[in-house]
Amino acid sequence: MAENMKNINWYPGHMEKARRQMQENLKVMDLIIEVRDARIPLASENPFLAEMAAGKPRIIILSKTDLADPEQTARWEEALRTEQREVLSLDLRQGKDVRKKIIAASRQLTAAKYEKMKARGIRNPRAMRAMACGIPNSGKSTLINRVFGRASLKTEDHPGVTRSLSWIHADPALDILDTPGVLWPRFDDQHAAALLGITGAINDQLLDFKDLSCVLITTMQKYYPGLLEKAYEYQDLEDPYDVLRAAAACRRILKENNEADLDRTASAMIHEFRRGKLGRITLEHEEDVEDLSE
Ligand SMILES: Nc1nc2c(ncn2[C@@H]2O[C@H](COP(=O)(O)OP(=O)(O)OP(=O)(O)O)[C@@H](O)[C@H]2O)c(=O)[nH]1
Ligand SMILES: [Mg+2]
């Protein structure tokens, strides 16, 4: 990570407020549904959620699998799964089987609690309560709409869409609380922050796209050699700025004086990545991570 990169931070007041309200609601939750982005399964883990969810059954959703590398998604799914923690990788846009899988996993993880209620003589135990949480723009509201079977919550392709907590009676057996995407007050790991920026979890207005494109280029050179060469029709370039210049030439993104417009090229590259135009790409590879224990 280059030293002169602009520092990334995004923790507006609504996130702090949401974090407090989530904490307050925690005691009534039977289950946590944490939605991460399959392209960055670790950088999209919110450390405060891990702490908050401790002791509660948890489903980790790896969303946006249509944009991620399928082989890596399969590896991550295995690596993150534990006894108390189911992992489901889902393309929430397609919605195929989303409802069925979420309901089945919720049932399984709350079975002991449900049986306990029955044993106490409650004939029709209440619906289980789940809190959907995670970083901004990861697909929490889309997921709940899928389980509910109706587009009742607002979803848009930018972070910070959901601003308040709201309960959805998604299924007779499952209530889900939608929450605003939250980040944390300070990113100790600026590389992870850049990955969050690239994938769209951070307000674009705070980002330097040239910085982000350099991180994207070096990561793709490491994991997907040849892909950028193919997309931007160049050969034998290593330096990220040379790659940016090649991309500018290929896409004809030029200033009035015919020089490459690197700012606009960087932004175009990030948006091509986000739309999946550069391929199905995972920016964190499972085999490179040594310790996944929490
Ligand atoms: N390609 C793809 N897009 C998805 C997927 N899931 C969600 N999206 C899109 O991602 C964007 C964000 O989805 P939301 O459901 O609003 O995300 P959120 O987590 O509720 O976001 P905040 O409320 O801002 O925290 C929308 O444009 C969705 O259509 C997926 O699996 N694949
Ligand atoms: Mg939302």
2, pLDDT greater than 70: no
Provide φ and ψ at 73, rounded to 5°.
Answer: -60, -40
The CATH number given to whatever domain includes residue 29 is 3.40.50.300
SS (H, E, C) the chain: CCCCCCCCCCCCHHHHHHHHHHHHHHHHCCEEEEEEECCCCCCCCCHHHHHHHCCCCEEEEEECCCCCCHHHHHHHHHHHCECCEEEEECCCCCCCCHHHHHHHHHHHHHHHHHHHHHHCCCCCCCCEEEEEEECCCCCHHHHHHHHHCCCCCCCCCCCCCCCCCEEEEEECCEEEEECCCCCCCCCCCHHHHHHHHHHCCCCHHHCCHHHHHHHHHHHHHHHCCCHHHHHHCCCCCCCHHHHHHHHHHHHCCECCCCCECHHHHHHHHHHHHHCCCCCCCCCCCHHHCCCCCC
115, pLDDT greater than 80: yes
Instruction: Give me 180's structure tokens.
Output: 């605003």
Domain count, the chain: 2
How much is the average pLDDT of 97-119? 92
Q: Whose CA is nearest to atom 8 of ligand 1?
A: 139
Residue 253 lies in a domain: yes
Separation between Cα atoms, residue 280 and residue 277, nearest integer Å = 8
265, pLDDT greater than 60: yes
How does pLDDT run across 64-85, given as a tens digit for each residue?
999 999 999 999 999 999 888 9
What is residue 290's predicted lDDT score, i.e. its pLDDT? 76
Q: What is the share, in percent, of the chain residues with pLDDT greater than 90?
A: 84
What is residue 212's predicted lDDT score, i.e. its pLDDT? 98
37: pLDDT confidence band, cut at 50, 70 and 90? very high
Q: Verify that 251 and 140 share a domain, yes or no.
A: no
Q: Verify that 22 and 161 share a domain, yes or no.
A: yes
- Residue 217 in contact with ligand 1 by CB distance below 6 A: no
How much is the average pLDDT of 78-104? 92
Residue 192 lies in a domain: no
How does pLDDT run across 212-237, given as a tens digit for each residue?
999 999 999 999 999 999 999 999 99
Q: Verify that 231 and 158 share a domain, yes or no.
A: no
Q: Is 158 exposed, middle or buried (0-12, 13-18, 19+ CB in 10 A)?
A: exposed
- Which structural domain range is residue 259 located in? 208-282
Separation between Cα atoms, residue 291 and residue 67, nearest integer Å = 25
Where is average pLDDT lowest: 41-55, 161-175, 240-254? Answer: 41-55
Separation between Cα atoms, residue 2 and residue 47, nearest integer Å = 25
* Residue of 39, 92, 183, 280 to test ligand 1 pocket, by largest number of atoms within 8 Å of CB: 92
- Residue 46 in contact with ligand 1 by CB distance below 6 A: no
259, pLDDT greater than 80: yes
Q: Is 113 exposed, middle or buried (0-12, 13-18, 19+ CB in 10 A)?
A: middle
| Total number of residues shown for the chain | 294
Q: Return the ligand number nearest the Cα of 92.
A: 1
- Residue 139 in contact with ligand 1 by CB distance below 6 A: yes
Separation between Cα atoms, residue 110 and residue 119, nearest integer Å = 14
* Ligand 2 midpoint to CA 282 (Å): 23
Q: What is the share, in percent, of the chain residues with pLDDT greater than 70?
A: 98
117: pLDDT confidence band, cut at 50, 70 and 90? confident
Q: Which of 135, 161, 178 delimits the end of a domain?
A: 178
- Residue 39 in contact with ligand 1 by CB distance below 6 A: no
2 or 27: which leads in pLDDT: 27
Return the bridge partners of 67, or none.
none
* Residue of 11, 155, 277 to test ligand 1 pocket, by largest number of atoms within 8 Å of CB: 155
Q: Verify that 174 and 212 share a domain, yes or no.
A: no
- For the whole model, what pTM was predicted? 0.95
Q: Verify that 57 and 121 share a domain, yes or no.
A: yes
The CATH number given to whatever domain includes residue 264 is 1.10.1580.10
Q: Verify that 25 and 79 share a domain, yes or no.
A: yes
Q: Verify that 239 and 169 share a domain, yes or no.
A: no
Instruction: Calculate ∠ Cα 50-165-89, nearest 5°.
Output: 50
Q: Verify that 78 and 221 share a domain, yes or no.
A: no
Return the closest-CA partner of residue 206 out of 76, 61, 29, 12: 12
Sheet with strand 58-63: strands edge to edge: 85-89, 58-63, 31-37, 128-134, 174-178, 166-171
3: pLDDT confidence band, cut at 50, 70 and 90? low
How much is the average pLDDT of 94-108? 92
* Ligand 2 midpoint to CA 175 (Å): 16
Residue 198 lies in a domain: no
Residue 291 lies in a domain: no
Q: Which amino acid is at 103?
A: I
What is residue 172's predicted lDDT score, i.e. its pLDDT? 92
Please, which residues have CB less than 5 A from ligand 2, an ion? 140-141, 161-162
Q: Whose CA is nearest to atom 26 of ligand 1?
A: 157
1, pLDDT greater than 60: no
Residue 203 lies in a domain: no
Q: Verify that 34 and 149 share a domain, yes or no.
A: yes
Residue 184 lies in a domain: no
Instruction: Calculate ∠ Cα 261-262-264, nearest 5°.
Output: 75
289 or 212: which leads in pLDDT: 212
Q: Verify that 153 and 60 share a domain, yes or no.
A: yes
Residue 189 lies in a domain: no
Q: Verify that 33 and 155 share a domain, yes or no.
A: yes
Q: Return the ligand number nearest the Cα of 18.
A: 1
Q: Verify that 213 and 172 share a domain, yes or no.
A: no
Residue 259 lies in a domain: yes
* Ligand 2 midpoint to CA 162 (Å): 4
Separation between Cα atoms, residue 58 and residue 82, nearest integer Å = 10
- Residue 98 in contact with ligand 1 by CB distance below 6 A: no
Q: How high does pLDDT run on average in the chain? A: 94
What is residue 84's predicted lDDT score, i.e. its pLDDT? 82
* Ligand 1 midpoint to CA 154 (Å): 10
